[in-house]
Structure 1
């Protein structure tokens, strides 16, 4: 498996980084967060490293912004101009896991959404969705937004307690494959994540 895989979410703070870390570690992939917005609580790259992805597999962000908000606004506050030409996928050997910020329609600049970047990259995209109340609406809206831009959706990965009806409903209505469900982990460590990821997902689905 040598292609890039894009990880996006239906919202922020739903476990997307944990999933991306589990996926990158399981595949032996490089990890890349193109734009990091907010550094007070550390970076997503740092969290991924703490969850078992070797530091030499973590690529530097194209932009590191201090303000914790949407990248377009964080850049403006920080006095930084984000150049979309600096956001091409890295040319590396082997698999690559790329994590977006928040949801698929988060603005990177005033003129560019993450979904637009995904379309430009042309790589399969994984949607991470929580199983909590509201996930049907959020998931279907995310799927429609990506499909309208002709983004290839590999499947949807759920995070949280099992909600079989919600999960089945989303996949039945959208036609998007259900990849599996990662439970909330306590404690969350490299070992517990690796074990839970191996139990929840079939790596052949990502090949």
Structure 2
């Protein structure tokens, strides 16, 4: 299994969910673009929160904590899709994007283009907030438009029944639903505990 983890926006728990899935499926991990927090990257977090995970080096490490296109410009760089190559491994791998599908990596290249470049199915992380239905359905439509398979819809935390019902009614039967419990303070203990509560279902 190789899976690209994206989200319906920023700060909705992609890295925490990635850690749970890395632990659950016993995969390796790769973050193609890291913008900011180079002293404690998402790869550092995955390594700290999971058991002996192989974390492959980022293709781009950018100092500014901002959208990748802005971070790259600050360093007089331009992110090039041709620079990205899926790390060679026979093991399963979780690949984590930055922000949502339409996060720009340059003025005309977006995160969804990287998913296509790597030819991976997607796992879409959803968190409950006012507007999450709109952002989820638009993200699903964007994946459908690009003919990117939505392998998993990942529900991060608790959802009102009305919200969950509308979202799931929009999801195709080929997509599996992963439910990950709320994790208040991510660390190895809480990630392991959450892994035991993960549920994976089909519609």
Question: TM-score, normalising length from structure 2?
Answer: 0.91
Q: In 1, distance between residues paired with 2:127 and 2:198? A: 15
1:54 counterpart = 2:60:
no
1:142-157 to 2 correspondences below 5 Å:
142-157=139-154
Q: In 2, distance between residues paired with 1:37 and 1:140? A: 27
C-alpha distance after superposition, 1:91-150 (max 9, x if no partner): 212101000000011112222111112122221100001022211001001111111111
Q: C-alpha displacement at 1:40, in angstroms?
A: 6.1
1:70 to 63, 67, 70: 67
Q: Specify the SS of the correspondent of 2:3.
A: strand
Larger relative helix fraction: 1
**Cα contact 2:81–2:117 (8 A) shared by 1:** no
Equivalent residues, number: 201
**Cα contact 1:32–1:59 (8 A) shared by 2:** yes
Q: C-alpha displacement at 1:39, in angstroms?
A: 1.7
1:174-193 to 2 correspondences below 5 Å:
174-175=171-172, 177=175, 179-193=177-191
**Cα contact 1:37–1:68 (8 A) shared by 2:** yes
1:118 counterpart = 2:115:
yes
**Cα contact 1:132–1:160 (8 A) shared by 2:** no
Q: Specify the SS of the correspondent of 2:163.
A: helix
Q: In 1, distance between residues paired with 2:51 and 2:85? A: 22
Question: TM-score, normalising length from structure 1?
Answer: 0.89
Task: Provide structure 2 residue ranges, at least 5 long, that are not aligned to the other structure.
Answer: none
